[in-house]
Amino acid sequence: MNQASPRARVAIVEDDAILREDLARIVTQTENLEVAGMADTLAAGRILIGTQPDVLLIDLALPDGNGVELIAEARAQIPSIKIIVVSIFGDAHSVVRAIEAGADGYLLKGANPVEAASAITTVLNGGAPISPAVASHILVRMRDRRDATREKLDAPLTEKEIAVLTDLAKGFRYKEVARLHNISPHTVADHVKSIYRKLAVNSRSEAVFEAVQAGLIRFKD
Amino acid sequence: MPDSEQVERGLTPPTPSPVGWPTAVAIIVLLLACCGALLSANLVAENVPGKRVSQMLAADLPGSPFLEVTLPHWHCCATTPMRFRTTLDADTANAQDPAILIVSAHDNARLFIDGSLVAGEGPGTGEPTNWSRRPRLFHIPKAMALEGAHIEIEVQRGVGFGHLRPIYFGEYDRLYPSYAALRFLRADMQIANGTIGAFVAAFCFAAASLLGARGLMYALGGLAASWALQVLGLGPSEPPWSGVVANGIYFVGYLGTSVFLVWFFVEWTSVFAAPLRRPWRPIDLLISPWPTRLRWRLATAGLSLLALGAIVIALMLQQDAAIGSQDVDRLLGWLTLVAIAFCLIRVVAYYWRTGFRDLFEAAAFLFVLLAAIADIVMVRFFFMYGVSLGAAVMFFPLALLLSLAARARGVFEAATANADKLNLLVTAREREIVEAMNEVRRNERAAMLLEERSRIMRDMHDVIGGQLLGLILQARSQSSSDTRLVSGLEQSLDDLRMVVDSLEQGEGSLTGALGAFRARIEPRCEAAGVALVWEIQDVGETPNIGPDKTLQIYRILLEACTNALRHGAPKQISVSLARTISGEIEIGVRDDGGGFAIENHAPGRGIANMQTRANRIGAAMRLSSDENGARLTLVLRA
């Protein structure tokens, strides 16, 4: 964090009161972080987004809808916002969906305070946490999508990115991957961020492709 | 009943084409126009006063040597030149430009006036050099055109209707139109007829394989070709064509006409008719459709007859170029008469049975009939050329081809309708099949879901349920400290995450699945101060290892790691994944702890559990232990 804004403002959207309080406690106790506000529904979350927070901690399963919607809206309204999905299982399916909507990382619910704080700080400092499950899921997904559209993706992964992702999927840590590829851990993080961005881009173009296929959109000849 | 007949023939009746009537009318109009044109040419040709043969033979020159000659005669005039004699009348003698028109005298006619040769070429010695049927128009020199002058006309061969009224006298200009009309009727018409015949023949032979009804098309083509041959044989015969060759061509064409006529009408009255359903009787040869095999035999016999006839004709012409031809002409005439009678009976029987179903056919047959009657009347009672039949015969193949096309169209439409029906049927069946497949898929899916659900239930029940229940009981009895409770709950959540991981990763590759597993055991290793060495190789796709097996592998590995941490006090634990040379998957867990005596532990609950799980997923499990540490190896099919 730079000196001009000493504390990053964190918005928390979580419907479970205990978990919400837990997250709030972690944020409060962490240096350079403060709670911007808390919400327990999508609707309340939208209002919270209006306060221009720096970080959004969001649960996906909310009583009035899926958190993915709010992620997309927040990303659209505040391009610089860091979005972290809070998930019980960190299961790849929901995490990847959130990344496609614009999320920057994920946090396991019930993680101990040190881990949680470190995860938030990592994202805030430009890191991109990724679990082997998520990496594996992205690999499969990219391959399937390429096969399904039978044409090049708008933003295909580079060979380096695929190699990094493959090693991450095997369960190797950033440091180990960096050592394997003779690059710095930061570069690995950059690769992962790039992969996340491409995932979001491809997800949008895929949505257009599917809409065209379904006849929802018609191009002029 | 027409309907049942159509059903039996398996064809939908051809729907009347909207252009059917106009086309039929057009054919009739065209025919009438042609006949009208020919008739007017005929009238022009006849529109001059002429002298009949009888008048000339009973000429005003009594004692003429020609009185004894009787005309026409089968052996009349091929080699013996004939002379017609008369005297010039006053009208002709006083004409501006007196002339004489010889209708049927051919090119080798000679005109003598008062005994001296005035015009024309004389007969050659031996075989005639030119058998053209062109009329001749000669000037009579003014100086010799005196009333009562002796006119003698010598012709080498005079057949045809010109015999009846062979010679016209008058003004040259007055005679010229008749001469032109006669030329057209006797020579140019032949060329037109021959051209049409050749064209129709070429078309039929080319289209036979395309249109089907091949016998019919071949027969029609043969008919047209023989017609063209006849005309060719009648044409002028200049060297290197000799008169014999032209004669031969003519007679072979003549014979061919009879042969192909019979074949064609047998085909025509058989190929479109329903086959007989009663025993074959001799009369059926005349009036009923012939079976295909019999028709092909007829074709073979006809062509053999044609070949044989050609040889006989050639031999006869070798002996006598002209007299022989008269005999052949007569014989062939009789043969053709019989053939025509046969065809006529067949056609009448055919249309009697089926009625006129086609406008083109109706137009063609009706017109041929009328033309024949008209021609007979013309020739017999008015001594004019028969012109209608020629025109009718020219358009007859055209009308029949149109009729064929209409029939073919009916067949195509019936086939298209059937194809449409079949397509509809196929579409309907396809839909049914797709629905059935969807149903099957739904059922399969439901069954799979049920199976998966029961498996997850079993997993939850076996492990997590038990763990949670134990914790609850502990909490209730206050027998457990908060720390143990939390650790137990954490373990339950961990296990639940493992289940989730197995579900997510199980379908792709074991590499990714083990990658996810690292997050589950690394914290434990770190907590115990043990280094985790991760030696995972990319083993590619492992389609045989689904979520169920993945979860069992997770649990075996977890048990192995837990055992190592609990009993071995190792510095490090390494987890490895590799594919063996034989393509199997090998998973290993190795520690550098103190190891354990397998005998002492066996049958330890943990090891027994691991073995049970390994058996359940069909994996071979090896466990070894010595002072350098313990080692677990799991080998299973990818």
- Per CB-CB distance under 8 Å, the chain B contacts of A141 are none
Q: What is the pLDDT of residue B123?
A: 47
- Per CB-CB distance under 8 Å, the chain B contacts of A92 are 504-505
Section B547-571 average pLDDT? 85
Instruction: Provide, rounded to the nearest whole percent, the portion of chain A with pLDDT above 70.
Output: 85
- Per CB-CB distance under 8 Å, the chain A contacts of B537 are 170
* Whole-number Å distance between alpha carbons of B160 and B101: 15
B478 vs B295, which has greater pLDDT?
Answer: B295
Beta strands in chain A (DSSP E): 8-13, 33-39, 55-59, 61-62, 65-66, 82-87, 105-108
Q: Do A170 and B508 touch (CB under 8 A)?
A: no
Section B87-93 average pLDDT? 82
Q: In this model, does residue B66 exceed pLDDT 60?
A: no
Structure confidence by residue, pLDDT tens digits, B357-372? 677 777 777 777 777 7
Most confident of B48-52, B76-80, B193-197, B378-382: B193-197
Distance from CA of A167 to the nearest CA of B (A): 9
Which of A136, A139, A147, A180 is most worth mutating to test chain B (most B CB atoms within 10 A of its CB)?
A136
* Whole-number Å distance between alpha carbons of B394 and B145: 44
Q: Chain B contact for A126, CB < 8 A?
A: no
Distance from CA of B354 to the nearest CA of A (A): 58
- The shortest CB-CB distance from B515 to any of A90, A136, A140 is to A136
Q: What is the pLDDT of residue B130?
A: 42
Q: In this model, does residue B260 exceed pLDDT 80?
A: yes
Q: Chain B contact for A169, CB < 8 A?
A: yes
Which of B483, B491, B525, B536 is most worth mutating to test chain A (most A CB atoms within 10 A of its CB)?
B536
Q: What is the pLDDT of residue B131?
A: 43
- Per CB-CB distance under 8 Å, the chain B contacts of A170 are 511-512, 514-515, 534, 536-538
Distance from CA of B478 to the nearest CA of A (A): 23
* Whole-number Å distance between alpha carbons of B340 and B344: 6
Q: Chain B contact for A176, CB < 8 A?
A: yes
- The shortest CB-CB distance from A136 to any of B497, B512, B537 is to B512
Q: What is the pLDDT of residue B29?
A: 83
Quote the mean pLDDT of chain B: 77
Q: Which of B53-57, B94-98, B575-579, B622-626 has the lowest mean pLDDT?
A: B53-57
Q: What is the pLDDT of residue B385?
A: 63
* Whole-number Å distance between alpha carbons of A53 and A83: 10
Section A167-175 average pLDDT? 85
* ipTM > 0.95 for the complex: no
Q: In this model, does residue B337 exceed pLDDT 90?
A: no
Name the residue of chain B whose CA is nearest to A89's CA.
B497
Q: What is the pLDDT of residue A218?
A: 57
Q: Chain A contact for B331, CB < 8 A?
A: no
- Per CB-CB distance under 8 Å, the chain B contacts of A172 are 515, 534, 536
Section B334-350 average pLDDT? 86
Q: In this model, does residue B302 exceed pLDDT 90?
A: yes
pLDDT band at B259; cut points 50, 70, 90: very high
B31 vs B393, which has greater pLDDT?
Answer: B31
Quote the mean pLDDT of chain A: 82
Structure confidence by residue, pLDDT tens digits, B510-532? 887 888 888 888 888 888 888 88
Section A34-53 average pLDDT? 91
Q: Find the angle CA(B93)-CA(B110)-CA(B100) to the nearest 5 degrees.
A: 30
Q: What is the pLDDT of residue A48?
A: 92
* Whole-number Å distance between alpha carbons of B309 and B427: 60
Burial of residue B435 (CB within 10 Å: 0-12, 13-18, 19+) is exposed
Q: What would the CATH number be for the domain defined by A8-124?
A: 3.40.50.2300
pLDDT band at B454; cut points 50, 70, 90: confident
Pick from A116, A121, A73, A71: nearest CA to A96: A71
- The shortest CB-CB distance from A110 to any of B493, B501, B509 is to B493
Q: Between A and B, how many residue pairs show a Cβ–Cβ distance under 8 A?
A: 65
Name the residue of chain A whose CA is nearest to B489's CA.
A110
Instruction: Provide, rounded to the nearest whole percent, the portion of chain B with pLDDT above 90.
Output: 7
pLDDT band at B479; cut points 50, 70, 90: low
Q: Chain B contact for A66, CB < 8 A?
A: no
On the CB side of B310, how many CA atoms lie within 13 Å of its CA?
15
pLDDT band at A81; cut points 50, 70, 90: very high
**CATH for A132-213, options being 2.40.128, 1.10.3470, 1.10.287, 1.10.10:** 1.10.10
Q: In this model, does residue B225 exceed pLDDT 80?
A: yes
Whole-prediction pTM = 0.48
Distance from CA of B521 to the nearest CA of A (A): 11
Structure confidence by residue, pLDDT tens digits, B193-208? 788 888 889 988 888 8
Q: What is the pLDDT of residue B325?
A: 59
Which of A143, A144, A168, A170 is most worth mutating to test chain B (most B CB atoms within 10 A of its CB)?
A170
A129 vs A145, which has greater pLDDT?
Answer: A129
Q: Is the dihedral of CA B626, B632, B636, B638 positive or negative?
A: negative
- The shortest CB-CB distance from A132 to any of B500, B515, B537 is to B515
Q: Do A91 and B504 touch (CB under 8 A)?
A: yes
pLDDT band at B306; cut points 50, 70, 90: very high
Percent of residues in chain B assigned helix, strand, coil, to nearest 5: 65, 10, 25
Which domains does chain B carry?
50-181 (2.60.120), 212-355 (no CATH), 506-636 (3.30.565.10)
A85 vs B32, which has greater pLDDT?
Answer: A85
In whole angstroms, how far apart are CA B345 and each of A188, B77, B275?
101, 36, 18
pLDDT band at B1; cut points 50, 70, 90: very low
- Helices A174-181 and A185-213, packing angle to 10 deg: 100
Q: In this model, does residue B278 exceed pLDDT 90?
A: no
Q: In this model, does residue B294 exceed pLDDT 80?
A: yes
Q: Do A171 and B508 touch (CB under 8 A)?
A: no
Q: In this model, does residue B126 exceed pLDDT 50?
A: no
Structure confidence by residue, pLDDT tens digits, B92-109? 888 888 888 887 655 467
Pick from B488, B572, B467, B591: nearest CA to B530: B572
Q: What is the pLDDT of residue B496?
A: 82
Distance from CA of B418 to the nearest CA of A (A): 35
Section B72-87 average pLDDT? 54
Q: In chain A, where are the structural domains located? A: 8-124, 132-213
* Longest distance between any two alpha carbons in chain B, whole Å: 167
The answer to whether B108 touches B128, Cβ cutoff 8 Å, is yes
* Whole-number Å distance between alpha carbons of B506 and B486: 29
Task: Respond yes or no on whether the N-terminal peptide bond of residue A63 is cis (omega within 30° of 0).
Answer: no
The answer to whether B614 touches B556, Cβ cutoff 8 Å, is yes
Name the residue of chain A whose CA is nearest to B517's CA.
A171
A28 vs B547, which has greater pLDDT?
Answer: A28
Q: Do B515 and A176 touch (CB under 8 A)?
A: no
Which of B483, B502, B504, B514 is most worth mutating to test chain A (most A CB atoms within 10 A of its CB)?
B504
Task: Respond yes or no on whether the N-terminal peptide bond of residue B236 is cis (omega within 30° of 0).
Answer: no
Q: In this model, does residue B166 exceed pLDDT 80?
A: no
Q: What is the pLDDT of residue B469?
A: 75
Q: In this model, does residue B314 exceed pLDDT 70?
A: yes
Q: What is the pLDDT of residue B262?
A: 92
Q: Do B516 and A110 touch (CB under 8 A)?
A: no
Q: In this model, does residue B155 exceed pLDDT 80?
A: no
Q: Do A169 and B511 touch (CB under 8 A)?
A: yes
* Sheet with A82-87, edge to edge strand ranges: A33-39, A8-13, A55-59, A82-87, A105-108
Q: Chain B contact for A93, CB < 8 A?
A: yes
**Token pair of B247 as six digits:** 């004669």
- Per CB-CB distance under 8 Å, the chain A contacts of B497 are 89-90
Name the residue of chain A whose CA is nearest to B505's CA.
A133
Name the residue of chain A whose CA is nearest to B506's CA.
A133
DSSP codes, A96-109: HHHHHHT--EEEET
Per residue in B8-17, is it b (16+ CB within 10 Å) or e — as a string? eeebbebeee
Burial of residue A173 (CB within 10 Å: 0-12, 13-18, 19+) is middle
